[in-house]
Structure 1
Amino acid sequence: MASPRQDSVRSRSAEPDPGGLKTVQMPHRQEPSGEAGDAEGSLRELPRWMRFYFYGMHGVTLDVLLSSLQGFVNHRDPKLVGFSSPYLCVMHSLTHFALEKIYSQKRSFRGRPVVFHLVFYPSIYIGLQILIGNINTLTEQVRMVSGTQLVVHYILALYFGHVFHRWLSRLRFDTPCTPDPACKPSQVDRGHEPLQGLPGFVRFLFFGMHGFLDEVVFTSVFNLVEKSDRTLSGHTSLWSFLMYGSCSYLVEKLYFHLRFSRGWGPWRRLPFYVCFIYTWEFSWGLVLRQFGACSWDYSHYPYNFMGLITLLYLPGWVCLSLYQDVLSNALIRVKCTKDVTGPSNGNGEVNGQLEKKIL
């Protein structure tokens, strides 16, 4: 997300000159993106809670993607409905946190990257996925994995080893250089637009994945209350990724403008959020319905309009709108660095330099 920040600088006193005067230097470091740099000490690796959050959200996205593609191949359904659950979200968070630790041990395979990336890491990843699948069935019989599933797991292991972990290791969290999210609008400098820490496309992907998580959690709770489904199975559609990703990205822009340019508080911004969300949902539903791809129908709900929107969900949209601000305030602190650096190991080393040698 974009971040309102000022250039952070560090001042230090040089050695006194013969005249007894001290020279103060204000070093300025240029960021790879061309934006104002941050002090080296202000950037640190992503907090653990943020990594858990991202791992779970990303895992749910993969569940939905794979299940929706499988359903499309079998039934040719243009709605592209996929499935996951809050339980699987937690399991993805835990397993990928463990895989992060495994990935950080790649320094032990220095000079043998093929062994690590093609044998060691994929073997552990496939083993964990098989374990999750058997636990998720909650049956006494061991669930057998087909050859196709093994191939898919292996491809995903290569993706995590070569793309996902490398990209995530570039993200840094910058706390002191951003304003306090809890501050009042009057305390924010209205003359400065937020600077972008992450590319817009990355934030679009984040919001799309978060939309998947929102719908899976909502539908799983709905099924638990209405149908007593204790499996906590939830569903969403691949079209929701585009709808949520684009909507939240534009609402984020609206948030930056209303808060930092106009100084509006959250309750003053809220009606604009809700109106925009309803308009966006109705527009997407109207277009998707022309192709039989609309995955929702509110015709049996009160206060609905053409079955595409309903005031019954107003409390939910209000909560999500307010939570959007929370997400924005967190993401504006994330920056993408140029160099690839991994998590610190037990000795306090950072294996970022090894990354260049191994890959």
Structure 2
Amino acid sequence: MRAVVFTGHGEPLEVSTVDPPTPDPTGVVVELEACGICRSDWHAWQGDPVWAERGLAAGHVLGHEPAGTVRAVGDEVETVNEGDHVTVPFNLADGTCHQCRTGHANLCENRRSLGLEPAVPGAFAEQLHVPDADVNVVQLPDSVSSVDMAGLGCRFMTAFHGLVHQADVDAGDWVAVHGCGGVGLSAVHIAAALGANVIAVDLFAEKLDFAERLGAAATVDADAIEDVPSEIHDITDGGAHVSVDALGIATTCQNSVNCLRTRGQHVQIGLTTRTEGGQVALPTDRIVGKELSVVGAIGMAPARYDELFRFLENDRIDPAKIVAERVALEETPETLAAMTDYDTMGIPVIDDF
């Protein structure tokens, strides 16, 4: 089968022919119909902190926002059948640990990251093997297309989990979103769907325009405004109730915390690059003095996907609006490389394998 393969950190990805997968006893093979191209793939490709020690080797397949149809099923699989239209969370769980048993499978103590570590090749390919399928395969409603689901993948579901489950966003609240890449635009769209007044922050005018089309009530051009937190305090008459760092660099993380009002909540979604090395200094005294909350969000437990689907079916959200580019498999290396200079818009999706 054809797949886009890793050749080394920062080295060009290649389109190659690799052996197709076969299901292990608890696994299934999914024929891919769509897969998002995510900045987390870019981080892994570059060897940034979270992934630097995972030992990706030449020939590994990235990609972790898949949707498609089950084509082969292992002998021990009980709840997934050939022909099912499915998606797969990027945090693969085993279903046995305390986190899994208490509804937090996205934080499985034995989790493996689809496409982002050697043991689980990803979805930049014609087919994908999914281990522990009874835990990790999610059936898609008839109303959700494969491209829709790729748009709802890692970035959208993490933003949804962050704003709906980790933060307390009420109608009328001010929500600031720092960084309008795929996850940031997803956060803008979701926060607007929750009835919040959204402020989008970015360096690029076209991304701020995109955020306005997705429901942002105000925008801040961080290239033109010297003090972003002060600008947000002025717009909101006191600061944001909730603020999201959707990029993961020191500036956006610190701006996100500093733009909050008393008892505000900072949601960290963006992961750091080698520049930050996994560490960002925060205004600790401000956090204490204003009783600010700091929470993280990564993925979403499969058991909660129905909440996301209900938003979609009730026309509260429309992930297709964020899918700004559809590409063929062979265009994946170029599309991922464009993320180095933030030259992608919204969520790019592979829909031609």
TM-score range, shorter chain: under 0.3
The higher radius of gyration belongs to 1
Q: Hey, which of these two has a bigger chunk of helix by percent? A: 1
Q: Hey, which of these two has a bigger chunk of strand by percent? A: 2
State TM-score, norm by structure 1.
Answer: 0.26
